[in-house]
Structure 1
């Protein structure tokens, strides 16, 4: 309950032995301020009409608090007049104050407020209400690293359906679904009616939000249907539907926060359907500045074009090793249907994780790139048989040769020979397992746990077992190798990325040797298909999942100041990922 102070400035003599005109006026404004509609209406000579108006006004203003102060009370020919100050608090410093007047008369039941809508506000009339609304500024455009505009504010139309106003709601829903089928085939009469059923009473169901061009296609068929409303607003949209959708969606949400922070607001007189009649109070919105992101339009388009022909979910993440700027986050349509998997999806990295196993072994000082290692066709680790791909046998070869050929038995043994925490520590030095708060995107780099058994050591060493990573995490690992230390990834310029730790660097000697092995993967190993694509360093990966009969295909690497990870789910082998990487590199 909100307290109210009554200030009696001019005494008025009353004839009644009941509550005085001052008492009634005090009770009325107290009840209005407290949101006690029934209590306020009971102080009037027309409780039903007062209750309806006060309920509607409070519903449409939806204040977080309200306050009232009774002022001057004077005699007049009708009986008495009382001035009072009302303030409506809408939160976040949005407060509307004004003075109103009520007339009171002594009737058979005692003093009553002579009800009229103008008691609530001097400009309010019968059949009207007061409505609060925010006035949103247009969002600023979003530009990429080359200065090209990636998103711009455009008008969108929301198709809202009020089942009660429609009358025969199922019939109208069927007509609406038929018309909208050309812009969204998934909308049906049933989906609309289900949505209406789940929407709180008195609120319209938002069926779909359309670009202006799409709305224009269906406007003639739906505009005159009963129960429909079509509010329009400005929203950030990419120039092409689907362009960088999984990353720009997060950027758009950050811009929306700025739009909200810069919003103006107003209170207006409106009819009972919400149509504005006149403004009573306005606070202007503030303009929203443009947003600059690190995405490269050329790199993003090259990634999307490389992925488009792939039938299964596939994705690419690219970033700049020298400073961590995210250059591209691309997914094809099947991947988009699963969500932002390039940024946060968790997959076994397979043999791409041999970058980490190799780095840990080199960092230990127990091996160098030219150290002879065994690469048998298969090997048993505590009862678990682990084979090479098609059980190839290299015999005894230098470490760099085993890496280029992706010898499972070699790297499983290297992992078994290292401490339980060697791989998690090394993975974190390259960024996998680090938790980032990067404005504009939610990311998960991956997870590498300590190995507790011999079999887990062996499986983790080749990126299977309990090792998981996202394409974002593997692109960061490649960036760390190229840069010599983990760069902090960024997406929105001027907004700082934070993390849960600052990993130590791998030694320059270990990094140099790892880079030379990654180069040999391309020049004479499992990624020879990229030999003509410039000075590419990388690692292929075939990652089994499920029952072990199916596998994802990976390629992770870098060229010049672009590091990237390519993942084709359920590809069966790494070859298709190498092919996609070639198309991507050719495009940049």
Structure 2
């Protein structure tokens, strides 16, 4: 047996294995010396760029940057997340030896709406180093070629708004928006003229020029919303506008009042509360879209929840009475009514000239004029320095540090009881009362009655008013008759009369079930102070400046004429209460309190 031959074969085998091992050892350092990012680095850079919304950065980590960039930008645009997060869990080789990164993706759409899923991506080595192998499925495993991701909100229909007795004031209705695309219209002036001519019977303010101005202000590529119409109004003009080039008619379900022009300002705020409820109950979905923008599949969904009806404190009867009271007035006129025992707002009405100025019944600031004498009287009676029968001087005019303050038409009552000076609205008497009190006296008395208190009330933004301390004799005199630096809204004066009627400041509410926050809870005036004031307010009606209300029941109130501007114009006020119904009426630029008293009479007849 030739042993040496066997040993020769064995030696060759060993040599081969050693050489192979040596070759492997020689190769390993070459790989270890690579300076490019690893598979893990590239995978992490890609998913982090996707999460950050950096489409260019993410696309540059792929082997098809142009395709990837286009798809990533579309996904970000259609998903519109508030935030996104991604994390690579591991990088392993698949059965074919291809590096595969597994990662978690999270899209946050706000309001607790988060979409989480796991995915994977493949990596390929190119001359530039490792790259993500691009495919739409890199964004989501079910995303096919030619598709994109999109977020969809599913809003439930708004529920009706019901008054204090359960009567519907607002309900959901399909509205049609008439929109104009300048790019599609061609002859924009011609289309605008046709639209204006058709729509003027419904919205007289729409003209060819107003449409052209709106188009000019609208960002390029976006349609201009000309008007939003109720279904019935749309049907009236449809045949005249439907075929106009560039005009489109998107529809949506919105909450609208039962009648056009009903409760315009106050119910607009309530509608915003309902919209918040709709938003809170909205469902949402993530879908895939095909190349035509149509939904291909749903990837994730949360169903919407129904919205319960909203109950408000308004009363349909009181609201209609208030609107019928102010609608005939040619000047801007407004009325706010409140229930003193609860603070519930019963009516907020404005006529068309007032509506053009916004929700001024709730937040407009006006000099309250002689209606503020309710506050001056509260301060004087509360101080103990004056009583209802205390004699006071009521000359035709009085001068305070060089500033003459006359009575209306310079009437002169001589010396009369305080109650008489109040009933006939003697400026000189109440200016003197204010001058004789400390500068903070009117501020404190106004605060006791709610004037100057701020509220966060669901459904409405309100400003009661402001009563700065009187820093000088003239300022105290002017403030004492509701001029000077004193300002109030009709809402604020309705709160004042509610406080007088109830004996404390009620916290106003508009939406039932929603708590109003007040920045203060003032101590009320003494009961004996308010008893005297209520008697004085009754005498305004029975024998003073508001005798026109003598047949309207047990009304207690105060008239007011408030100069503004250069002093040649004045607003007219009446504030008062009857039983558990308090209210304030303002007619701007009325010249006297007469129109406000007449509006109050109409209101009380229907309330």
TM-score (structure 2 length as normaliser)? 0.87
Aligned partner of 2:418 in structure 1 is 399
Matched, 1:57 2:97: no
Higher Cα Rg: structure 1 or 2?
2
Q: CA distance change for structure 1 residues 32 and 365 in 2, over 3 Å: closer, same or farther? A: closer
Q: CA distance change for structure 1 residues 369 and 189 in 2, over 3 Å: closer, same or farther? A: same
Q: CA distance change for structure 1 residues 394 and 344 in 2, over 3 Å: closer, same or farther? A: same
Asked if 1 retains the 8 angstrom alpha-carbon contact of 2:124 and 2:132, the reply is yes
Offset from partner CA, 1:73-117 (integer Å, 9 cap, x none): 555679676665433222333222334455666677776555443
Matched, 1:557 2:576: yes
Aligned partner of 1:33 in structure 2 is 51
CA distance in 1, matches of 2:74, 2:406: 74
Unaligned runs of 5+ in 2: 1-30
Matched, 1:334 2:388: no
Q: CA distance change for structure 1 residues 106 and 544 in 2, over 3 Å: closer, same or farther? A: closer
Higher alpha-carbon deviation: 392-401 or 546-555: 392-401
Q: CA distance change for structure 1 residues 36 and 443 in 2, over 3 Å: closer, same or farther? A: closer
Aligned partner of 1:359 in structure 2 is 378
Higher alpha-carbon deviation: 193-202 or 543-552: 193-202
Asked if 2 retains the 8 angstrom alpha-carbon contact of 1:29 and 1:70, the reply is no
Higher alpha-carbon deviation: 205-214 or 280-289: 205-214
Q: Secondary structure at the match of 1:460?
A: helix
CA distance in 1, matches of 2:472, 2:444: 17
Matched, 1:507 2:546: no
Q: CA distance change for structure 1 residues 72 and 575 in 2, over 3 Å: closer, same or farther? A: same
Aligned partner of 2:467 in structure 1 is 448
CA distance in 2, matches of 1:201, 1:167: 14
Q: CA distance change for structure 1 residues 376 and 32 in 2, over 3 Å: closer, same or farther? A: closer
Q: CA distance change for structure 1 residues 315 and 545 in 2, over 3 Å: closer, same or farther? A: same
Aligned partner of 1:459 in structure 2 is 478
CA distance in 2, matches of 1:73, 1:150: 64
* Partner of residue 42 from structure 1, selected from 60, 63, 66: 60
Aligned partner of 1:6 in structure 2 is none
CA distance in 2, matches of 1:59, 1:531: 67
Matched, 1:534 2:553: yes
Asked if 2 retains the 8 angstrom alpha-carbon contact of 1:352 and 1:556, the reply is yes
Cα RMSD between the aligned structures?
A: 2.9
Shift of 1:234: 2.5
Asked if 2 retains the 8 angstrom alpha-carbon contact of 1:25 and 1:70, the reply is no
Aligned partner of 2:117 in structure 1 is 98
Matched, 1:121 2:140: yes
Asked if 1 retains the 8 angstrom alpha-carbon contact of 2:396 and 2:428, the reply is yes
Q: CA distance change for structure 1 residues 379 and 80 in 2, over 3 Å: closer, same or farther? A: closer
Unaligned runs of 5+ in 1: 1-12
CA distance in 2, matches of 1:389, 1:347: 19
CA distance in 2, matches of 1:176, 1:242: 23
CA distance in 1, matches of 2:199, 2:98: 61
Q: CA distance change for structure 1 residues 488 and 85 in 2, over 3 Å: closer, same or farther? A: closer
Q: CA distance change for structure 1 residues 165 and 111 in 2, over 3 Å: closer, same or farther? A: farther
Asked if 1 retains the 8 angstrom alpha-carbon contact of 2:40 and 2:91, the reply is no
Offset from partner CA, 1:164-219 (integer Å, 9 cap, x none): 56667666556555554444344455555554555556655444333333333444
Q: CA distance change for structure 1 residues 387 and 267 in 2, over 3 Å: closer, same or farther? A: same
Matched, 1:566 2:557: no
Aligned partner of 1:419 in structure 2 is 438
Shift of 1:537: 0.5
Q: Secondary structure at the match of 1:247?
A: helix
CA distance in 1, matches of 2:300, 2:248: 25
* Partner of residue 302 from structure 1, selected from 314, 321, 324: 321
CA distance in 2, matches of 1:231, 1:76: 52
Equivalent residues in 2 for 1:263-412, closer than 5 Å:
263-271=282-290, 274-412=293-431
Higher alpha-carbon deviation: 444-453 or 91-100: 91-100
Q: Secondary structure at the match of 1:540?
A: strand
Asked if 1 retains the 8 angstrom alpha-carbon contact of 2:43 and 2:88, the reply is no
CA distance in 2, matches of 1:413, 1:294: 41
CA distance in 2, matches of 1:88, 1:190: 45
CA distance in 2, matches of 1:24, 1:418: 80
CA distance in 2, matches of 1:441, 1:17: 65
CA distance in 1, matches of 2:244, 2:86: 42
Offset from partner CA, 1:349-391 (integer Å, 9 cap, x none): 1111111111211112222212222211112222222211111
Q: Secondary structure at the match of 2:88?
A: strand
Higher alpha-carbon deviation: 48-57 or 325-334: 48-57
Offset from partner CA, 1:389-439 (integer Å, 9 cap, x none): 111121122111111111111111111111111111111111111111212
Q: Secondary structure at the match of 1:133?
A: strand
* Partner of residue 545 from structure 1, selected from 564, 572, 584: 564
TM-score (structure 1 length as normaliser)? 0.89
Offset from partner CA, 1:233-275 (integer Å, 9 cap, x none): 3322111122111111111112222222222111112246754
Higher alpha-carbon deviation: 276-285 or 167-176: 167-176
Offset from partner CA, 1:35-87 (integer Å, 9 cap, x none): 33223333444332222122111111122113253667555679676665433
Q: Secondary structure at the match of 2:300?
A: strand
Q: CA distance change for structure 1 residues 531 and 33 in 2, over 3 Å: closer, same or farther? A: closer
Matched, 1:136 2:155: yes
Q: Secondary structure at the match of 2:349?
A: strand
Equivalent residues in 2 for 1:158-307, closer than 5 Å:
158-164=177-183, 176-177=195-196, 179-188=198-207, 191-192=210-211, 194-196=213-215, 198-199=217-218, 203-223=222-242, 230-271=249-290, 274-307=293-326
Q: Secondary structure at the match of 2:385?
A: coil
Asked if 2 retains the 8 angstrom alpha-carbon contact of 1:79 and 1:106, the reply is no
Q: CA distance change for structure 1 residues 295 and 88 in 2, over 3 Å: closer, same or farther? A: same
Higher alpha-carbon deviation: 374-383 or 342-351: 374-383
Shift of 1:137: 1.7
Aligned partner of 1:5 in structure 2 is none
CA distance in 1, matches of 2:90, 2:225: 45
* Partner of residue 510 from structure 2, selected from 491, 498, 512: 491
